[in-house]
Amino acid sequence: MFDTLHKKKLAGPLLAVSLTVGLPSASWAQEGEGRPELSPMSRVPALRAELSGDDASDRVFGGKKAGKGAWPFQVALLTSDMLDDSPTSQPDAQFCGGSLIAPQWVLTAAHCLVDAGVPVPATSITVLTGATHLAEGERRAVQAVYVNEGYSPATLDNDIGLLKLAEPANAPSIPLIDSDIESGKATVIGWGMMEDGYFPNDLMEADIELFPNSACNSGIKTIYARDLGGVLYQLAGRMRYSEQAITQALDAIVAAMKDPLTGNMLCAGTQSGVRDACNGDSGGPLFTIRDGKPVQVGIVSWGEGPMDASVACGHANAYGIYTRLANYKDWIKAKMGQ
């Protein structure tokens, strides 16, 4: 479950530097417009068409199939142009998730609402409500699209957006967290890529934990350092520098690295990486249970992994990155007030 490229091996030889790393060429781990999370509307449906199916494994990076009718606030975002009158056209049109936070309002990730750097028109998105299987549910037209004004495609900061439905939905909504939170158990749900590389048609759920941002920052920086070390070792023979020079360069660059996470992001997952969000889950809810009821604390945003990996999800010490909803209460209220 997370928004990354599908199973596609990277070109180039592999080298051993504490662990196996690969070349940066053709890597999904790029900055700015090269980020794999971007433009899911034009990317994810093609992957779903290639890799979906009811006969696929029921595991989603350590998750499990949600019960029938579970989590009724979860919605699927569908590409309108891919739909016909048949419900069977819905699974391959799915590209992101979202949550119903009021009868006429869907909360999702900003990067789900931007394609090729431009906010998508409302008519290009159809919202599917009341579905645990993607061939079920009710289709809802979108009246307006709101992307956070501070959204950055380079860093995925302020990765939050809203959809106003043309008509209110009759499904239950999920309340939002009223204060910040960085510890405890949580659940992430969605129709994103499973650990076997296939996309499910049934809604999946994974139980994870919240961690302080320092855990994500440390784990991701370690991955970056190992990747960079692999590149430097590969070029050492050609450029004739020593192993000592590599160590000195790595130490200097690592010391100068900025934290990948901002204060608008939330770290969640498992230390082992066995349960995670992945390709197609973007925009979906991360929630905790309070007084027996779900409360949303985050939005599936992005992830990171080694350069030689096939996807940027399910990696040890990398966790998953979510939009920190506690920071956006006023923004959400303002947009809904419009």
pTM metric for this prediction:
0.82
Report which of residues 99 and 304 the model is more confident about. Answer: 99
User: Closest by alpha carbon to 1, among 287, 202, 205, 157?
Assistant: 205
Q: What are the CA-CA distances from residue 264 to residues 92, 152, 299 (Å)?
A: 32, 12, 11
Q: What pLDDT score does 310 carry?
A: 59
Which domain CATH number covers 85? Answer: 2.40.10.10
pLDDT in tens, 169-200: 999 999 999 989 888 999 999 987 766 667 78
In a domain, 1, yes or no: no
Lowest mean pLDDT of 7-11, 86-90, 200-204, name the range. Answer: 7-11
| Total domains, the chain | 1
pLDDT value at 28 more than 80: no
pLDDT in tens, 34-80: 576 787 786 777 666 665 544 433 334 456 788 888 899 999 999 99
- How many degrees, rounded to 5, is the angle at CA 154 between CA 314 and CA 337? 95
In a domain, 228, yes or no: yes
State the residue range of the domain holding 150: 15-337
- DSSP string computed for 168-180: ---S---PBPSS-
Name beta bridge partners: 118.
115
In a domain, 5, yes or no: no
Q: Is 287 helix (H, G, I), strand (E, B) or coil?
A: strand
In a domain, 6, yes or no: no
Q: What pLDDT score does 68 carry?
A: 86
Angle separating helix axes 213-239 and 243-256, nearest 10 degrees: 150
In a domain, 185, yes or no: yes
